[in-house]
A and B are shown apart, each in its own frame.
Chain A
Amino acid sequence: MANPEQPTPQDGEQASRPSPQVRKADDVGRLQLAAIIESSDDAIISKTLEGVITSWNPGAERMFGYQAHEVVGKPLLILFPPDRVDEEQEILTRIRRGERMEHFETARVRKDGSRIEVSVTISPIKDAHGRIVGASKIARDITEQKLSEQRLLDTVREMQDIRAALDEHSIVAITDAAGRITYVNDKFCSISKYSREELLGKDHRIINSRHHPKEFFKKLWDTIRGGGVWHGEIKNRAKDGTFYWVATTIFPRLNNAGYPVQFISIRTDITQRKADEAELQRFAADLAEKNKELETIVYTVSHDLRSPLVNVQGFGKQLNRACGKIEAAVASAQGGMVSAAELRAPVETAIPQALRFINAGVNKMEMLLNGLLRYSRLGRVAFTIQPLDMNELVSEIIEAMRFQIDETKAEVEVSRLPPCMGDRAQTSQAFANLLDNAIKYRDPSRTLRIQVRAAVRDGMSVYSVADNGIGIAPGHREKAFEIFHRLNPDTASGEGLGLTIAQRVLEREGGKIWIESEEGVGSTFFVALPTVAPSA
């Protein structure tokens, strides 16, 4: 911008005497400049080197509230707020040196006392001889601009705080449109166990656990590429091979054309919740099974307990009747003589029979109740699961059964047995039961041979106890483990509880039991128990 302002009377007229034409053109130029100054929104002010106002355009009137006639001739200092008065001295000093100050941001005071933020450009005014005679000052109101700058700053700070809060709570990653990671927060690094350097530039396949089918990720990508937000639970794999679950929200950032340019994923660690859920499901399944088992037991027991009761009641009545006959015989006694013939039937047949059945019924009920108590206590016994030396355990059982084995002349052959995890006393009882059954259900027509063998399969030690006994027909095998079920009540003693308890014990130890058998050839009972972990 050039020098001329409101011309002072002496100003430059005599500097050079231009021709009339030139003068005319010069006049047009001055008029145009005057018009520009008149209509400018900026305040355009001139002042002397002493700081006295010499001109004041309408823009200045609007900006500061003073009319030109109120301020021309007054010091410009009237516009300065008390804390900025030093500025004027500085400005005037620099102007005298011929310096120009551009877009100098400061504050001024309006006539009404209100502050106004301004951006000021101040230039020296020179006369025709190049001497500095004053200063022109163009001021622009930047109050609004300052305000929006502040708002922007506040917004940026707010965004930063929100991000910091997010980083505190969530696992955050940002990828480009191709899915390459461009940002990860500390939580992402700590849960995935990868460093930031290892993650940046890669895509999320680096933490893929292979748990989810391809379609799962296809759906995810279809959603976010289409501009949609995706929510879901993902199982990821950390650098050290461990797995973690995250509840995930992926938010695509779209460009003006509506295409994603970035994907922001926010995740929460739900590994524990997933583990809890799985455990809960296991518990529920376990409970359902136990419930079914209990129902079967209640059903069975209600039947089995009723049977002896029918006998006790029935034969009790028969006892009554026998007594009635004896009473009748006594009542009809003649001369103190009771007819022996009349007493014979009740005394020799009815009463002993009735007593036999009543006693048997009572004993049966007692046995059932004892068995039931034993079975129910099993659920409360604390198991001590430890590595078991099965060679030692089985040989101890065989020693304890030596008398029965010798008496039946049975041949028992035991291979080398791998160890397993189980409760010593309970496991011993289960195996003792299997050996006892082999002896109980032997085929008397041949020498009993019992073979105990083992193999390790899929983390389980699978033991087999094979005999050449009477065997079990196909239809009866499932029943063998049923509570109080007795395959051969006539030939073998027992309460029908051995295999039921063995099964329950082995299940509680994380194992199982099953039968293979051929009628007339023999039975093989298999017991699978967890192997001993190599480190143990």
Chain B
Amino acid sequence: MTEAPVILIVEDDEGHAILVRDVLETAGLSNRIRHFRDGQAVLDFLFGGGPKAVSHAGCTYVVLLDIRLPKVDGIEVLRRIKGDSELRKLPVIMLTTTDDAREVDRCHQLGCSVYIQKPVDYDKFTEAVRRLGLFITLLLVPPIEGR
């Protein structure tokens, strides 16, 4: 296996971001983690403000994406990622408090890899994120080609 993928957490709630990071670290993940506080920020990182992905040659990412986000919501971020010929290879894990069936359906239609609801109960939350962490370590993530 190549280098562990960088986990891109897109989450406007700072508390959630800290909790997720804590749980992942406690679960023993050593991946680098980057935190984006709104949809625009992660799009800027991936696309550099342009219509196509900027060069991330050789990098591997896993995206943990919330839906309700300021500026650009998670659905739009997902659409942009899955609409790009190179970035579409990224595993995108929806991690959100919403369990609305239509939302779940929409995300799968758009090509999300996994949809997980954040449980309010902390033990369940921990368990969910821990398993998610273990799942991530098993992922074989293709690197993004340079352009």
Contact = CB atoms under 8 A, between A and B. Distances in A.
Interface residues of A, number: 31
Interface string B6-21: 0000001111101100
A306 interface: yes
B15 A357 contact: yes
Contact of A303 (B14, B98, B122): B98
Interface string A294-334: 00000110111011111101111110000000000000000
Q: Is the interface of A mostly helix, strand, loop or mixed?
A: helix
A487 interface: yes
A490 B38 CA distance: 10
Interface string B61-81: 000000110111100100000
Given A307-B13, A360-B15, A314 B71 contact: no
A315 B15 contact: yes
B125 A479 contact: no
Contacts of A235: none
Interface residues of B, number: 30
B37 interface: yes
A369 interface: no
B57 interface: no
B120 A306 contact: yes
Given A304-B68, A475-B76, A476-B71, A310 B100 contact: no
A313 B15 contact: no
B121 interface: yes
A314 B97 contact: no
Interface string B112-130: 0000001111110110000
A512 interface: no
B118 A310 contact: yes
Contacts of A357: 14-15, 18
Contacts of A164: none
Contact of B71 (A309, A313, A488): A488
Contacts of B68: 300, 303-304
B70 A299 contact: no
A304 to B, nearest CB: 7
B88 to A, nearest CB: 19
Nearest to A356: B15
A426 interface: no
B15 A314 contact: yes
A473 B49 CA distance: 12
Contact of A299 (B14, B37, B100, B119): B100
Interface in B34-88: 37-38, 40, 67-68, 70-73, 76
B18 A309 contact: no
A470 to B, nearest CB: 11
Interface string A318-353: 100000000000000000000000000000000001
B13 to A, nearest CB: 5
A20 interface: no
A317 B14 CA distance: 17
A476 B18 CA distance: 27
23 contacts: A299-B100, A302-B98, A303-B98, A304-B68, A310-B13, A310-B15, A310-B97, A310-B119, A310-B125, A311-B16, A311-B19, A313-B120, A313-B121, A314-B16, A314-B125, A315-B15, A357-B15, A476-B71, A476-B72, A479-B73, A486-B70, A487-B70, A489-B70
Interface of A: 299-300, 302-304, 306-311, 313-318, 353, 357, 360-361, 473, 475-476, 479, 485-490
The 7 closest A-B pairs by CB, nearest first: A311-B15, A306-B97, A357-B15, A313-B122, A314-B19, A317-B122, A303-B98
